[in-house]
A and B are shown apart, each in its own frame.
Chain A
Amino acid sequence: MLKGLKKQLLIQEGETGNVVYFLAVFLLVGSGMAIGRGTADALFLKRLGIEYLPMMYMIQSLLLAAVSLVYAAFADRIIAEKFCRIIFSVLTLLVFASWVAMSRSDGSLVYPLYYLLYEIASEILLVHAALYMSQNMTTMQAKRLAPLLYAGSQMGIILGGLLLAAAVPIVGTQNMLLVWCALLLPGVLLIITWHRRKGPSTHFRAPPRGSRIFRECTNQVKQGLRYSWSSELLRAGSFALFFMVTAFYILCYSTHRVYAQTFETEADLAGFYGMLTAATSSIALLIQIFVTNKAIRRYGVRRINLLFPLTTLTAMSALAVSFTLPAALFGSFNKDAIMPAFRNPVRTLFYSVIPTYIQGRARAISVAVVLPAALFFCGLLLSVMQKLDSPEFFLLPGMAAALVYLHFNRRMNRAYEGTLINTLKERLFLPDKRLYSELHGASKEVLDEIVQGLNHEDPEVAIAFARLLAGSFPEQAAELIFARIDSANTATADQLLGLLGEIDLSQYRERLYKLAERGDEHFQATVIHQLAGQKDPGYLEQAANLLEHANPRLRAAGIHFCLHQPATGKQHEQLAQEWLGLIQGNTGTCKAGLTLIPDLSLIGPQHRERLEDAYQKAFVHMLTIDATNTRISTLNGLSRWERPLPDTAYPALLQALSDDNPETRAAATRCLPLKGNHSRTPHILHAASDSHPGVREAGVNALKAISEDYSASVLRLILENTPPLRGQIALLESLEQPGLPKVDCERLAINKAEEACQLQDALTTMEAGEGPDSPAGSLIRLVLQERLNQTIQLALLALEPLYEAGTVKIIRAGFASGDRRHIENAIEVLGNLECCNATKLLLQVLTRMHDDQRAYHAPGIDTINGVIEWCATHPDKWLQQCAEYFIQETKTEDARV
């Protein structure tokens, strides 16, 4: 039963002690406040008169500003429990002093003072209790438990109200002050005992100590104001609060006026206030327990935020129509039931999305500036209006204030989402886009960074930066890379030179000639390839001499150079002979000949045919050689082949696709787009799902090469679940900006989120299955879990273009980390993003992942057999195989039985 109650009240494991403690604190605060409020109102109205009430509002506003200024200075500095103790103790002393003053003198000054004491205390107590709670809970805990704890304070108010109604006829209104003192003292003891056992508040972070606290007091208010001005949410919230206070106090004044007229004696009025407080608080309590949380979850914070302005407007209108007890009762119901049940929890949630370090100041600004200003304005308005003998004169401004309040609450709603995301980003320490924007573009700083990398002593680092330089700063690249080549060893120089292939090197011919004389023959060949690209006739003689060189690579370089120069038919005949000699020679010459494949278009058709025949034979032969380097070179050559794939080479190509060496797999994948290869798509998709990123990249590039509309192909393949999930992720990541249109992204995200729901259903069914755990069952569960994680990753990738990158990162962190705070943040973001079915589904998945709720949505997978059948027909081959294994194992087991 206790478990059921905890579930109903959303109390999670390990929280019970904390919840009971805070309930007790809120209970004591609430009951004391009910007594204080009933006695303060009754004593003031009957012993002084309602005509002084507007003046009290004005004095109250000034006092509130002063007290709150001090509160603002200390709220973030003093640990909340210590501050709580101080407030409780001081209040006890002042209430007792008021009672002594009332007993000893019959002067009327003590009544307004006591009234002011109660009003100030009630404001500070409520604000501080919320801060105290938030310093002891995480955001999500506070969000989940705040309604329950506010319900605790309501329970206290009910008990206090009932006590007041029952005890006033016996002990009198004045002596109830002692009862309030008697309730405050155990509160102090409770706080001391609890924190002695549990230690200080866990979420309190003390600011650095300083000696000028009172000077800082005003600074803090200024900081709070400045932040309020820069934050759309706080700005709208401050205006909303101003008009809410104005409307609220006009409503208070109106109801007090009706009650003071209706109840003649002080005891009757105090008793009535006790009963009224108990009744309105009971209703508020019931709403808080059974409605508030569910309503916030169902309709969202933003819609519930509009409820109180609307009911205030209604109450004000009712009083304007009929200034009698029923309308006043509705007004009291609005301010004492609707307000604590809906407005206060929602207001706390709005505060919880602003950064933690400013929350205390922001609350203090509300109490120290906005509330006093509104109250003073209201008091001034009422003191003028009450002289006119009709209630409409103050009710109409009240209605106007309620309308403006409604308007600003709508503006708060609009600002809520943006503030929430910014705050959560800060909490996750996500880097801002601005940090990266400076790195893009051709700024000198970026170039200096790259040059520094290019000159790094590690050749791999230097080559990586040279590649970046050639790609991003082609104008400066040649000079800088040539300078680096001068100090590099031959192997590094060879690779650096290769990176200049796309750049015009006509100005650097002399340097290339010099380089051709340097280093080994391999490097010379690379230099000649570069010179050939420049169509430089100055080197023709040396190149022609190379045709008879012993090194096949230099021979190939010579042929390459000569082919790029104007030549006669006889010269072409000679070149073709040399070329054929390379291809038909041994493995070494053949490898050199493979580099000439792109030059086939440069030779006459009569020679080309002979060469192509020779190449086709060479491919088959070279691919069967059991030497990885030779096979990779052959595959690289084959990938440049512009004719249909030779049938004879196909079996060797297939074998290379499943080679253990990833370079071989990648090279084989690069051959897949060749014409005549009709079964290329499944192999390409398989490669795009490879365990090696290099092979995946080759697979993605191969798909790009064969697709007319790559983005559309990727979308279709992913929606149809054709490649394995790893491949789907690689394909989706490969889409360059702007990528898919937003409508397709949303479609994809919804599709994958739905799949995630199905996978989660299947997994839940398997986990809930009865009987002994079979190996096949364990395997299915593992694979389903893996597929679920990958599908979520895909859905989030698809969501990225729809939202700011930081937003999706927060959600991803929630799914991937398993960390409670990240999960809470992700739930918060998913629950507040603009309407998209995918986010709703993902929220459902995330909540179910961690709340252990079992709910089946997909028909047919609510039984183990259903799940196995579903897996056996799933497009995912690995899932299919696991399901078949399960079926086979079950049959074997049945046969054994």
Chain B
Amino acid sequence: MPVSDLFKRLLLLKHSQIFSMVSTEDLRMVAGSLEQVQFFRGDRIFEINDQGDHLYLLVSGKVGISIDTDPGSRNFIATFGPGDCFGEMNLLDDLPRSATALVLEDAVVLTLEKSRLRGLILSYPEISIGMLRSMSMRLREANLRAPAAPENQENDNARDA
């Protein structure tokens, strides 16, 4: 992988909530484990109730997140653009997807597989410590704004999808 790609991936990871507190040095391992996938307009990256085992980082394109069970629904609770990350919580739990991710514009996505991340965590535990710090920070933020701003909560739910 070219160095510039590695650095770009690293920045994408650093901007995701789940890896925001992992050090850039440790993120190099994660960045090297990402796989690039191309999706086209109208593709479904995942569907509601699917068994999720990937995290997605959007490099280019646009993705809409819908919690409607109707497959044709265009009712999105959030739309993601380049640099956004979604499906994070599926890396940590085994619950089915809570939303559908529909590609609105041709998209290049980097994915990280759950089993690969688990292997990385066992090999490089500082990654998990950084992730725990990120989760703790996110929990604190959620506690602080929970009663005040339901729209923020909605955006978080979409990311967790």
Query: Using a CB–CB distance below 8 Å, which chain A residues touch chain B?
Result: 660-662, 691-693, 724, 726, 775-776, 778-779, 782-783, 786, 878, 881-882, 885, 888-889
Contact = CB atoms under 8 A, between A and B. Distances in A.
Nearest to A661: B123
B8 A662 contact: no
Given A775-B11, A782-B24, A888 B124 contact: no
Nearest to A783: B24
Contact of B119 (A660, A782, A783, A878): A660
Contacts of B44: none
B127 A691 contact: yes
Contacts of A662: 122-125
B7 A779 contact: yes
B113 interface: no
Given A779-B24, A878-B25, A885 B4 contact: yes
A782 to B, nearest CB: 5
A783 B24 CA distance: 7
Contact of A889 (B4, B29, B122, B126): B4
A238 B133 CA distance: 48
Given A660-B119, A786-B24, A878-B25, A692 B125 contact: yes
Interface in B98-140: 119, 122-127
Contacts of B14: 782
Contacts of A775: 7-8, 11
Contacts of B25: 724, 726, 786, 878
Interface in B60-114: none
Nearest to A892: B4
B123 A692 contact: yes
Interface string B1-42: 001100110110010000000011110010000000000000
Contact of A786 (B7, B8, B23, B122): B23
Contacts of B124: 662, 691-692
A776 B5 CA distance: 11
A661 B119 CA distance: 9
B4 A888 contact: yes
B7 A885 contact: yes
Given A662-B122, A786-B23, A779 B11 contact: yes
12 contacts: A662-B124, A662-B125, A692-B125, A726-B126, A775-B7, A775-B8, A778-B11, A779-B7, A786-B24, A786-B25, A882-B24, A888-B4
A811 to B, nearest CB: 20
Nearest to A693: B125
B24 A878 contact: yes
Contacts of B10: 779
A782 B3 CA distance: 17
Contacts of B11: 775, 778-779, 782
Interface of B: 3-4, 7-8, 10-11, 14, 23-26, 29, 119, 122-127
A881 B3 CA distance: 9
Nearest to A659: B123
Contacts of A726: 25, 126
Contacts of B26: 691
A892 to B, nearest CB: 8
A882 B6 CA distance: 11
A580 B7 CA distance: 52
B37 to A, nearest CB: 21
B133 to A, nearest CB: 11
Nearest to A785: B24
A726 B23 CA distance: 11
Contacts of B119: 660
Contacts of B127: 691
A540 B156 CA distance: 71
A653 B26 CA distance: 23
B24 A776 contact: no
B142 to A, nearest CB: 17
Nearest to B29: A691
A691 B125 contact: yes
Contacts of B8: 775
A660 B32 CA distance: 13
Contacts of A878: 24-25
A888 B7 CA distance: 12
B4, B11, B25, B119: residue with the most chain A Cβ atoms closer than 10 Å: B25
Contacts of B122: 662
A488 B85 CA distance: 49
Given A662-B125, A786-B23, 9 more contacts: A660-B123, A691-B125, A692-B124, A692-B125, A693-B125, A782-B14, A782-B24, A881-B3, A882-B7
A888 B8 CA distance: 14
Nearest to A877: B25
Q: Which 5 A-B pairs have the closest CB atoms?
A: A691-B124, A691-B126, A660-B123, A775-B11, A885-B7
A662 B119 CA distance: 11
Contacts of A882: 7, 24
A237 B119 CA distance: 62
A468 B24 CA distance: 37
Nearest to B6: A885
A827 to B, nearest CB: 23
A397 B23 CA distance: 68
A786 to B, nearest CB: 5
A84 to B, nearest CB: 33
B127 to A, nearest CB: 7
A778 B125 CA distance: 25
Contacts of A693: 125
Contacts of A783: 24
A801 to B, nearest CB: 26
A778 to B, nearest CB: 6
Contacts of A888: 3-4
Nearest to A885: B7
A692 B119 CA distance: 13
A761 B119 CA distance: 38
Contacts of A661: 123
A660 to B, nearest CB: 5
A12 B123 CA distance: 46
B10, B26, B123, B125: residue with the most chain A Cβ atoms closer than 10 Å: B123
Contacts of B4: 885, 888-889
B28 to A, nearest CB: 9
Contacts of A778: 11
Nearest to A690: B124
Contacts of B3: 881, 885, 888
Contacts of A885: 3-4, 7
A691, A783, A786, A885: residue with the most chain B Cβ atoms closer than 10 Å: A691
A882 B124 CA distance: 21
Nearest to B15: A778
A883 to B, nearest CB: 12
Contacts of A786: 23-25
Nearest to B137: A818
A660 B26 CA distance: 13
A882 B11 CA distance: 12
B59 to A, nearest CB: 12
A888 B2 CA distance: 12
A779 B15 CA distance: 11
A691 B10 CA distance: 17
A280 B11 CA distance: 61
B14, B24, B126: residue with the most chain A Cβ atoms closer than 10 Å: B24
A820 to B, nearest CB: 14
A783 B119 CA distance: 25
A548 B29 CA distance: 49
Nearest to B128: A691
A165 B67 CA distance: 77
A458 B14 CA distance: 39
A778 B3 CA distance: 16
A182 to B, nearest CB: 45
Contacts of B126: 691-692, 726
B26, B29, B124: residue with the most chain A Cβ atoms closer than 10 Å: B124
A776 B10 CA distance: 11
A724 B25 CA distance: 11
A692 B29 CA distance: 13
A778 B11 CA distance: 8
